[in-house]
Amino acid sequence: MPTLSSTAGFISITRTAEELSIVCPIDQAQHNAKCESPWTCFKLEGPFPFSLTGVLASFLNPLAERGIPIFAISTFDTDYVLVKEEDAATALETLQAAGHNLVS
């Protein structure tokens, strides 16, 4: 099972043909930016080999079963899962019950 840690100061920039998406602390967002907040970010400690399947699913399925919406971002080495701050305590409890461990 992946371990998770709370990630302060997380920033992700993704550009596609349709949009530019910047995920950052609210105090770093431009004043006129379209924002949705607040979120809590969980980091799935990697790296995970690309041949390993089901890592993110093992993390997301328990949250989906509890009706907790997520926003997932993956990098080459690591997966990040953001949940609304109001769902963070329930998400953490759900993930721990599913066998995931929190590390600081």
> Are the CB atoms for 10 and 79 separated by under 8 Å?
no
- Per-residue pLDDT band for 8 (boundaries 50, 70, 90) equals low
Q: Which two tokens stand for residue 89?
A: 């305590």
Half-sphere exposure of 29 (CA within 13 A, CB side): 16
- Per-residue pLDDT band for 28 (boundaries 50, 70, 90) equals confident
- Percent of the chain's residues with pLDDT above 90: 41
- Percent of the chain's residues with pLDDT above 70: 90
For the chain, domains (ranges, CATH) are 3-24+37-102 (3.30.2130.10)
